[in-house]
């Protein structure tokens, strides 16, 4: 074997999805607000308003970006006579500072401005090729923070804070995109985990440093000249003054942030605060306002002691200072807190006694806090003299809200934009997602509410909530001559909340109304009209203000005859229609009444009788819904929709009868004349969800069963087929799924209170109607799902919106975008409620519910959260599987989730198009399914055909997933867990390290042909106890053991099937932690023994290849001239690449190793992924790709592998952005995917 070099640069990265490690807000010269996101070595520019990627700018060559600093507006000056001018807020910054590790650079503002303005970018060819346009410099130490001077005429001055508490002066050449380092200054050199720099004046920088040992150093620094080289030869602590040393945290300091200077208008005093967060899960706020001149100068002895974090004389000084200066402490996240930050435009006024603070944690959440001061103390002037002598203000940290926009662990980056009360918080996580939270300004809090958090559903300026007591509603409906109010409109305060029901004694009471009157049920007639009924049989109509700025409602009581009111006592059922502005009321006697909202302007606020259904009305469902696509009404009636409502054609209702196996279909024509048809139900079938399609009714039951109802010869309806599903909980809604064409099959989405939603396909074959399940998902956001709808996403498609309950909260969730829209603390699901979507707003939502004997109304037009960039796994990816057609990629991670991605890539002709945009070319990449059934980290994923996906994990978890193509953009891929591996060991704690699957019967293409269960598989597993187990699997028969074999004490890590040997069994190739390859002739002899007899060892052989564990393996079968051979490539923990030529000896019916080779030090770390990309030159040569923990991707050519003179050439060696790589998988002969802490797709032309 020989190793020969070759020309490099052939492999190209097509797509990347990595942790977002840096964020910054950027406002262009034309006022366009953007977010700069550091993803690996590049900066991506996103428009805040449209959430569109504007462009990508390469920065470093092989270093992830850790920080981006856009110069802020100059600090507000206390001295009004200061002559320093400030830059216009409309002017773009001259330079943007970027750093990562030891690497530092400045980006000319013109480059970013050109991307934002969609102007041609200079050096477009370099940008498209991914080559940086800026000059990268290397600092002498790891950089924690950086800042550019915001002052006019001083924009080229840069300061950098290192991990050893040193400030490096630098000079930026904005026009040339270069940076030059100057002097280094530090008062002491402890090891830091966090730091923050703030320019507080032209010649002064404030430094906050959090140490490994739980202490915080605050010191100020006076920069020298602006030119590089000035100040050389001075002492390291020249120009440094230590102000404070704080102790109090019980762990390492992970985040510190300096507030802007805030002024108390009563005294004119300035206040500056410091927030810190730690490994101890606490947030602390410190007063770092400077006192008398020189009062905080510490001697050299204390500074020296602080370099290690230990010392006898330091504790007393620090503790005394800490107790005096610590204003508030709060326990925060459920795990470590990485960052804490103040909005930068915060000003403290007498009537604004709260300061917002945001924290960002390992638990992937953002938490908003209010630092609430004692107002009287804030208005008192600060005493003169030393800072130690003043009285510490009384303050407390009050939790306001929690935002959970990321999956898995870690928010690695954040940025806050604040201006004139508007607050935007951007977060970047380990899942690669960039999320945006719209915060609310710090408003004055009433005294009683000062310690009460915001409602979780009201962080946004577009979300409002109000409440009304029944007395409020009753008084609003009284004539004006009876009440003092001349306008019966209740505004956001909800009226007099102290009022009791006794206040309504002036209204007449009906006989028999002995129970206390309360709200009973609600129904939305339109988005702005709601009908409410009480247990005393009174009906109220609520109308929302059109502007909806203050969430105002106007109430009116519907006048009812005495006989109708009596029938509504204690029991009534409400329903409504989205096809027409109608509401329906059902009674115990079976009467059905209608309220027509179109008659309301004429003053006819009353009910009209429709029909009697012959029994107590249980529920009312509308079958005529304009939002339901592909929905032909029963008896071929159709809806002509105008302004959201049908104006001419019929409305169809299904009314169920309590305690009877029957229901009634009622049709209302344009004059509201009713006709009805009988529906026969199965015994004990309680209807809870309804849909219609092509003349069929689909009914969901309280037990989770679905019944298909068809029309019989008599004109009535009776069951045709029933899908018995043992769900144990009620189906809440059945909704037709939007499809790509009218010829698509009938798909239905079904939601259920078991917390799952499912997609079924309705098929009619030779007169036989079937309902087949295609998709089943358990979203983690809720414990039960109440309903769903489809909303326009602004890009021409639709998003699936789910609503349901999680504990006490009603939650609205965008399942397509996988983000929370709203969360309302309503007390839980066991109450009366109603909700409706707002059609003019894609994520608009209105929710009415009863809580504490009051009606509460929540309304939101836009979600407080927005996704700028979709993410993926929140933990390291350990397994990849690609479908045979290369279109779908399955990834499994330590977060226990499996994600299936759909990948499109551009053709060669498109990539060579000179008109391509300046941003780096990438293929289309989107997540189409998330499987969340495993309880431990995923170990292995493998497809078989395009119809089955198999997965393994710890605790002997092994699942078989059936994959179904769905002709819908909302959910293009369906997944159903078809089987769970049952043959677990006694302890059930083994890990299935690897497995292989081979089909014994053939099915081609996607579809429902597999529903018959005719697919059979041979599955062989390698367990962590050195055992091989082989099974036959069919959908109907499940798993049946074929055989069990064992290895030595080493753990098996890799497994592949070989061809059939001898007695019909399949040979197996395995690799182990001892560096050996093991070949088994078959695994078909069932045995419960853990040891191998001499007879059983006769068809097993081993060969040594690596020095220790085999971490990765791939194999390619080649048949030539009647001979079967295998090329096996392996990657080891010894950093070596191995190649083995395996041959099947037909004469002796066994496999034998003909040759083997290894490339020592093929990588600088363990090779965790390897794949044979393609065979060339009549299969004599092979192209192999490998990845390693050294973050390199290498391409190899194995020439003449079937001979003894193998030649291995390194074709390419490229930096990989994926840290802790877990796997590598070939998509086709030209493309492969690498995954670990992130993912990237590479192409080899």
Model confidence pLDDT, tens digit, residues 173-188:
755 667 889 889 999 9
Read out DSSP for 1065-1081? EEEEEEEETTSEEEEES
Does 66 score more than 70 pLDDT?
yes
Distance (Å, rounded) from C-alpha 650 to C-alpha 231?
87
Q: 857 near 457, Cβ under 8 Å?
A: no
Assess contact for 221 and 202: CB atoms under 8 A.
Answer: no
| Distance set, CA 832 to CA 175, 616, 653, 851, 1202 (Å) | 65, 20, 22, 9, 75
Residue 1158 has pLDDT above 90, yes or no: yes
Q: What is the pLDDT of residue 162?
A: 96
pLDDT class of 1146 with cuts at 50, 70, 90 = confident
Instruction: Tell me what pLDDT residue 627 has.
Output: 56
Residue 1069 CB burial class (10 angstroms; 0-12, 13-18, ≥19)? buried
Q: What is the mean pLDDT of residues 262-276?
A: 76
The DSSP symbol for 312 reads T
* Residue of 761 and 629 predicted with greater confidence: 761
Residue 1163's nearest CA partner among 1140, 1142, 1141, 1184 is 1184
Q: What is the pLDDT of residue 233?
A: 57
Give the C-alpha distances (Å, rounded to integers) separating 1031 from 619, 679, 687, 998, 1020.
50, 48, 42, 11, 6
pLDDT tens across 349-403, in order?
A: 545 578 899 999 999 999 999 988 765 554 555 555 444 444 556 788 999 888 8
Residue 638 confidence (pLDDT): 33
User: If you compute the radius of gyration of the chain from its CA atoms, what whole number of angstroms results?
Assistant: 35
Q: Which of 235, 238, 167, 226 lies closest to 197 in space, CA to CA?
A: 167
Residue with tokens 């449209």: 50
Q: Which residues, other chains included, contact 471 with Cβ-Cβ below 8 Å and sequence gap of 6+?
A: 495, 496, 499, 500, 501, 503, 504
Please write the tens of the pLDDT for every residue from 1170-1223: 999 999 999 999 999 999 999 999 999 999 898 888 899 999 999 999 999 999
- Average pLDDT for 762-782: 85
Decide if 333 contacts 281 (C-beta within 8 A).
Answer: yes
* Sheet of strand 12-17, all strands in order from the earlier edge strand to the far edge: 12-17, 1231-1243, 1219-1226
Mean pLDDT of 521-541: 91
Segment 3-32 shows an average pLDDT of 81
Look at residue 450 and tell me whether its pLDDT is greater than 60: no
Q: What is the pLDDT of residue 794?
A: 75
Distances (CA, A) of 628 to 524, 631, 1114: 18, 6, 48
pLDDT of residue 599: 75
pLDDT of residue 172: 81
Element (H, E) at 215: strand 215-221
Distance, in Å, from the CA atom of 750 to the CA atom of 772, rounded to the nearest integer, reads 12
CA gap 1028, 1021 in Å, rounded: 6
Could you list the beta-strand ranges (E) of 864-1015: 865-869, 877-882, 888-893, 898-904, 924-931, 938-944, 948-953, 958-965, 973-980, 992-999
Q: Please state the rounded mean pLDDT for residues 1053-1072.
A: 82
User: Contact at 8 Å (CB) between 135 and 105?
Assistant: yes
Instruction: Name which of 350, 200, 325, 386 is nearest 267 in CA terms.
Output: 350
CA distance 911 to 129: 11
Q: What are the Cα distances from residue 398, in Å, to 250, 272, 395, 427, 831?
A: 21, 19, 10, 22, 29
Question: What Cα–Cα distance (Å) separates residue 123 from each residue in 11, 114, 582, 912?
Answer: 22, 12, 62, 17
Residue 145: name the closest of 109, 97, 213, 75 by CA: 97
Tokens of 886: 């290369």
- CA–CA separation, 975 vs 963, rounded Å? 5
Pick from 134-143, 983-992, 1003-1012: least confident: 1003-1012
Q: Is the pLDDT of residue 227 over 90?
A: no
- CA distances for 61 relative to 6, 9, 54, 55, 584, angstroms: 21, 14, 21, 18, 67
Spell out the domains of the chain, with CATH numbers in brackets: 12-439 (2.130.10.10), 935-1104 (2.130.10.10), 1114-1245 (2.130.10.10)
**Integer Cα distance of 485 and 478 in angstroms:** 9
Handedness of CA 67, 134, 1236, 36 (dihedral sign): positive
Instruction: Check: pTM over 0.75? Answer yes or no.
Output: yes
Burial of 191 (0-12, 13-18, 19+ CB in 10 A): middle
CB 953 within 8 A of CB 980: no
pLDDT in tens, 87-135: 444 577 888 999 999 999 999 888 898 999 887 544 454 454 456 678 8
The rounded percent of the chain whose pLDDT value lies above 70 is 78
The region of weakest confidence among 716-725, 730-739, 1153-1162 is 716-725
Contact 801, 843 (CB under 8 A): yes
At residue 193, the pLDDT reads 95
Q: Give me the mean pLDDT over the 497-521 stretch.
A: 53
Is 314's pLDDT higher than 50? no
Instruction: From residue 335, give the alpha-carbon distance in Å to each of 210, 248, 339, 399.
Output: 18, 18, 12, 16
| pLDDT the model gives residue 920 | 29
Contact assessment for residue 222 and residue 203, using Cβ atoms and an 8 Å cutoff: yes
Residue 1102 has what DSSP assignment? Answer: E
Is the confidence at residue 510, as pLDDT, over 50?
no
Contact indicator for 1106, 1138 with CB cutoff of 8 Å: yes
β-pairing verdict for 1027-1034 and 1038-1046: antiparallel
Task: Say which DSSP state 383 is in.
Answer: P
- Return the number of other C-beta atoms located less than 10 Å from residue 336's C-beta: 20
pLDDT above 50: residue 79: no
Q: How many residues does the chain have?
A: 1245
Confidence of residue 48 (pLDDT cuts 50, 70, 90): very high
Q: How confident is the model at residue 719 (pLDDT cuts 50, 70, 90)?
A: confident
Edge to edge, what strands does the sheet with 819-825 contain? 784-792, 798-806, 809-814, 819-825
């Amino acid at each position: 074997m020989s190793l020969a070099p070759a020309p490099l640069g052939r492999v190209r990265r097509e797509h990347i999805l990595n942790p977002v490690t840096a964020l910054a807000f950027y406002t262009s010269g034309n006022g366009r607000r953007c977010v700069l996101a550091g993803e690996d070595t590049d900066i991506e520019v996103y428009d805040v308003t449209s959430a569109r990627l504007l462009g990508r700018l390469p920065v470093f060559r092989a270093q992830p970006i850790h920080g981006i600093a856009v110069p802020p507006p100059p600090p507000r000056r206390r001295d009004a006579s200061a002559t320093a001018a400030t830059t216009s807020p409309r002017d773009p910054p001259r330079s943007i500072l970027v750093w990562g590790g030891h690497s530092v650079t400045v980006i000319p503002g013109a480059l970013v401005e050109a991307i934002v303005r969609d102007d041609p970018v200079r050096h477009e060819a370099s940008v498209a090729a991914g080559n940086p346009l800026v000059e990268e410099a290397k600092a002498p130490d790891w950089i924690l923070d950086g800042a550019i001077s915001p002052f006019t005429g001083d924009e080229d001055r840069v300061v950098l804070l290192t991990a050893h508490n040193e400030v490096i002066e630098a000079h930026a050449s904005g026009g040339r995109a270069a940076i030059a380092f100057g002097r280094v200054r530090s008062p002491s050199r402890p090891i830091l985990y966090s730091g923050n720099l703030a320019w507080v004046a032209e010649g002064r920088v404030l430094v906050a440093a959090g140490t490994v040992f739980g202490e915080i150093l605050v010191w100020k620094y006076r920069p020298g000249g602006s030119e590089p080289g000035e100040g050389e030869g001075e002492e390291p602590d020249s120009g440094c003054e230590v102000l404070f040393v704080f102790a109090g945290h019980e762990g390492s300091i992970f985040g510190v942030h300096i507030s802007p200077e805030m002024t108390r208008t009563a005294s004119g005093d300035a206040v500056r605060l410091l927030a810190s967060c730690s490994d101890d899960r606490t947030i602390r706020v410190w007063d770092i306002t400077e006192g008398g001149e020189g009062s905080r100068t510490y001697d050299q002895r204390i500074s020296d002691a602080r370099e290690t974090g230990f010392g006898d004389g330091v504790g007393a000084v620090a503790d005394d200072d800490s107790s005096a200066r610590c204003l508030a402490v709060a326990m925060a996240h459920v795990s470590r807190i990485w960052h804490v930050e103040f909005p930068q435009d915060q000003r403290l006024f007498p009537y604004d006694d709260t300061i917002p603070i945001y924290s960002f944690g390992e638990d992937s959440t953002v938490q908003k806090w209010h630092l609430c001061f004692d107002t009287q103390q804030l208005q008192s002037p600060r005493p003169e003299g030393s800072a130690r002598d003043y009285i510490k203000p009384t303050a407390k940290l009050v939790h306001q809200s929690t935002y959970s926009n990321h999956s898995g662990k870690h928010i690695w980056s954040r940025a806050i934009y604040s201006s004139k009360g508007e607050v935007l918080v951007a977060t970047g996580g380990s899942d690669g997602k960039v999320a945006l939270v719209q915060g609310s300004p710090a408003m004055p809090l009433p005294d009683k509410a000062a310690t009460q958090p915001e409602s979780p559903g009201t962080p946004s300026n577009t979300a409002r909530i109000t409440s009304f007591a029944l007395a409020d509603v009753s008084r609003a409906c009284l004539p004006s001559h009876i009440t003092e109010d001349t306008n019966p409109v209740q505004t956001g305060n909800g009226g007099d909340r102290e009022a009791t029901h006794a206040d309504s004694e002036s209204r007449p009471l009906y006989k028999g109304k002995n129970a206390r009157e309360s709200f009973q049920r609600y129904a939305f007639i339109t988005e702005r009209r709601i009908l409410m009924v009480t247990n005393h049989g009174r009906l109220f109509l609520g109308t929302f203000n059109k502007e909806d700025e203050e969430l105002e409602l106007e109430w009116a009581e519907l006048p009812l005859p005495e006989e109708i009111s009596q029938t509504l006592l204690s029991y009534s059922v409400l329903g409504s229609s989205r096809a027409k502005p109608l509401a329906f009321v059902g009674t115990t006697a079976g009467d059905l009444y209608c309220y027509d909202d179109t008659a309301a302007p004429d003053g006819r606020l009353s009910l009209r009788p429709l029909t009697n259904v012959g029994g107590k009305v249980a529920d009312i469902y509308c079958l005529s819904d304009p939002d339901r696509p592909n929905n032909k009404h029963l008896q071929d009636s159709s809806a002509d929709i105008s302004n959201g409502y049908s104006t001419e054609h019929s409305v169809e209702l299904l009314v169920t009868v309590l305690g009877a196996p029957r229901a009634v279909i009622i049709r209302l024509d344009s004059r509201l004349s009713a006709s009805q048809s009988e529906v026969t139900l199965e015994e004990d079938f309680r209807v809870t969800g309804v849909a219609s399609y092509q003349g069929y009714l689909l009914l969901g039951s309280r037990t989770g069963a679905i019944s298909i109802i068809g029309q019989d010869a008599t004109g009535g309806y009776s069951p045709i087929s029933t899908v018995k599903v043992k769900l144990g909980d009620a189906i809440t809604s059945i909704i037709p799924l939007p499809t790509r064409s009218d010829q698509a099959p009938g798909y239905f989405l079904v939601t259920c209170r078991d917390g799952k939603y499912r997609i079924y396909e309705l098929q009619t074959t030779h007169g036989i109607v079937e309902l087949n399940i295609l998709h089943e998902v358990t979203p983690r956001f809720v414990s039960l799902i109440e309903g769903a709808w489809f909303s326009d996403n602004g890009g021409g498609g639709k998003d699936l919106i789910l609503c349901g309950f999680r504990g006490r909260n009603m939650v609205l969730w965008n399942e397509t975008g996988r983000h929370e829209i709203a969360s309302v603390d309503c007390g839980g699901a066991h109450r009366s409620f109603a909700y409706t979507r707002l059609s003019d707003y894609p994520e608009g939502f209105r929710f009415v519910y009863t809580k504490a004997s009051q009606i509460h109304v929540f309304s939101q037009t836009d979600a407080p959260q927005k996704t700028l960039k979709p993410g993926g796994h929140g933990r390291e990816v350990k397994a990849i599987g690609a479908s045979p057609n290369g279109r779908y990629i399955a990834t499994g991670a330590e977060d226990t989730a499996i994600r299936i991605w759909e990948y499109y890539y551009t053709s060669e002709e498109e990539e060579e198009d000179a008109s391509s945009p300046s941003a780096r070319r990438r293929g289309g990449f989107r997540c189409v399914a998330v499987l969340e059934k495993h309880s431990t980290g995923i170990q292995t994923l493998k497809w078989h055909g395009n119809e089955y996906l198999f997965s393994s994990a710890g605790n002997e978890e092994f699942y078989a997933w059936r994959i179904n193509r769905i002709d819908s953009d909302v959910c293009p891929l369906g997944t159903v867990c078809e089987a769970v591996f049952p043959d677990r060991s006694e302890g059930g704690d083994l890990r299935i390290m690897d497995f292989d699957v081979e089909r014994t019967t053939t099915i081609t293409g996607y579809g429902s042909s597999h529903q018959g269960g005719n697919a059979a598989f041979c599955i062989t597993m390698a367990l962590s106890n050195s055992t091989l187990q082989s099974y036959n699997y069919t959908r109907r028969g499940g798993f049946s053991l074929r055989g069990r074999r064992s290895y030595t004490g080493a753990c098996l890590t890799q497994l592949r099937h070989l061809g059939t040997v001898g007695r019909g069994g399949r040979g197996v190739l395995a690799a182990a932690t001892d560096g050996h390859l093991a070949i088994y002739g078959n695994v078909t002899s069932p045995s419960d023994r853990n040891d191998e007899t001499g007879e059983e060892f006769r068809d097993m052989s081993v060969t040594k290849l690596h020095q220790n564990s085999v971490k990765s393996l791939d194999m390619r079968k080649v048949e030539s001239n009647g001979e079967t051979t295998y090329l096996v490539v392996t990657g080891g923990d010894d950093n070596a690449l191995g190649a083995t030529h395996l041959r099947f000896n037909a004469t002796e019916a066994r496999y034998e190793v003909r040759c083997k080779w290894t490339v020592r030090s093929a990588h600088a770390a363990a090779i965790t992924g390897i794949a044979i990309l393609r065979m060339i030159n009549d299969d004599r040569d092979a192209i192999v790709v490998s990845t390693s923990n050294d973050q390199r991707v290498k391409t190899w050519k194995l020439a003449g592998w079937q001979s003894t003179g193998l030649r291995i050439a390194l074709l390419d060696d490229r930096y990989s952005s994926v840290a802790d790589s877990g796997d590598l998988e070939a998509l086709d002969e030209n493309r492969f995917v690498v995954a670990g802490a992130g993912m990237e797709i590479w192409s080899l032309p």
